[in-house]
Every structure is written in C-alpha cells, then in structure tokens.
C-alpha cells in the first residue's frame, strides 16, 4: 500500500511537471515564431513571454528532477516557488475576470501610449489608426490610412478585449489550480518514505 501510494504521488508529480515543460516550450516557440515572422515586432513583449517560458521551464525541471530522485531540498524549494507563482497567477487571473469596462479602457490606453512599436503592430494587424482619434497629419502603419477610410483602434480593440481578458483569466485560473495541486502533491510526496531506500536513512 505504501509503495503504491509513493509511486502514485511520484507519477502524478512527474506528469504535472512534464505538462509544465511542454507549456513552457510552447510559449517560447510561439514567441520566437511570432518575432521571426514579423507578427510581433515589440522586443519587450517577445522577451517577456520568452522570459516567463524559461522561468516555468526551469521550475518544472527542478520539480521533475526532485520527483524522480525524491530529492528533499529540490522538492522543498519547488513547493515554495510554485506556491508563490500560484498566489501571483490567481491574483492576476481574478483581476482579469473582475475588471470593468472603464478600467479596461484605461489600461488599454496606458498600454497604447507606452509603446510606439505596439501601436504600429496593432494598427497594421487591425487596419486602424490612433487609439481614440486619428491624426490625418500623422503617420500610420495601416493600409487604410492611404485611403482615409480608417477607424480608431480603440473601437476595434474593445470589441475583443473583454473576451480576451475572460479567456486569459479562465486559463490562468485553471493553471493556478493545477499549481496548488502540485504544491499539495509535493508536500505529500516529500513526507512519504521511499520503499526502495534504507528506512533509517529517511529524515
């Protein structure tokens, strides 16, 4: 029974961390692909996504090695880091789901004003000019600008912003619950004796 419980916890923890490794590699791959094909020209956005992906990869790798070797120190630090990630991710996901339209518009405008590269990306992909008003004497990356048929980007962004925030919030909540599951599995697994080891060697 002890062996079965130990093996079950080990396999569950390994499977969870393999999932995290796959998600991290997917994030890095998508960010690099978007940059290479010119879908996203902002280095900050690409760098941020790749940074999160690399961080998740190393956390998952530590958890995977700790689970396979039943390494007490690695499992302890993995559990602490995963709990902190859970707190941050749960808070951000809840904020995404709870944000109202006025706050949403304010955040979009702040984000728009902070990066000229992002402005060009949005104007080009959504075929719009300006955030809340279009300057006909200015420059715009959208094809419609040459024909003076552009609408403002705020209207187009707001059509999908609410759906995107709900989607991101929902995905974030889902993964935050897998993280708290990982914390519980790690705590349980750390306190189980390895039936293959010398019982007197377990602290």
Residue 10 has a pLDDT of: 87
* Residue with the two structure tokens 């980007």: 153
- Altogether, the residues listed in the chain come to a count of 203
For residue 196, pLDDT beyond 80:
no
CA distance 48 to 95: 20
36 burial class (0-12, 13-18, 19+ CB within 10 angstroms)?
Answer: exposed
In which band, very low, low, confident or very high, does the pLDDT at 1 lie, cut at 50, 70 and 90?
A: very low
Q: How many CA atoms lie within 13 A of 139 on its CB side?
A: 5
Q: What is the pLDDT of residues 103-156, one digit of tens each?
A: 777 877 787 777 777 778 787 777 888 777 777 667 787 778 777 777 778 877
Give the global pTM.
Answer: 0.72
Contacts of residue 184, Cβ cutoff 8 Å, sequence gap at least 6: none
């Amino acid at each position: 029974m002890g062996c079965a419980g130990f093996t079950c916890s080990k396999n569950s923890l390994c499977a969870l961390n393999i999932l995290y490794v796959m998600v991290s590699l997917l994030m890095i791959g998508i960010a690099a692909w978007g940059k290479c094909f010119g879908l996203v020209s902002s280095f900050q956005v690409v760098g941020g996504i790749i940074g999160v992906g690399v961080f998740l990869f190393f956390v998952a790798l530590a958890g995977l090695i700790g689970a396979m070797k039943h390494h007490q120190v690695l499992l302890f630090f993995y559990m602490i880091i995963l709990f902190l990630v859970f707190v941050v991710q749960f808070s951000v996901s809840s904020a995404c789901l709870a944000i109202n339209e006025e706050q949403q518009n304010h955040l979009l405008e702040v984000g728009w004003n902070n990066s000229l590269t992002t402005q060009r990306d949005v104007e080009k992909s959504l075929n719009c000019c300006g955030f809340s008003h279009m300057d006909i004497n200015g420059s715009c990356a959208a094809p419609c600008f040459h024909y003076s048929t552009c609408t403002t980007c705020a209207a187009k962004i707001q059509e999908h912003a609410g759906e995107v925030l709900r989607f991101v919030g929902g995905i974030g909540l889902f993964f935050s619950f897998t993280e708290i599951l990982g914390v519980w599995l790690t705590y349980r697994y750390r306190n189980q004796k390895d039936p293959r080891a010398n019982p007197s060697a377990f602290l």
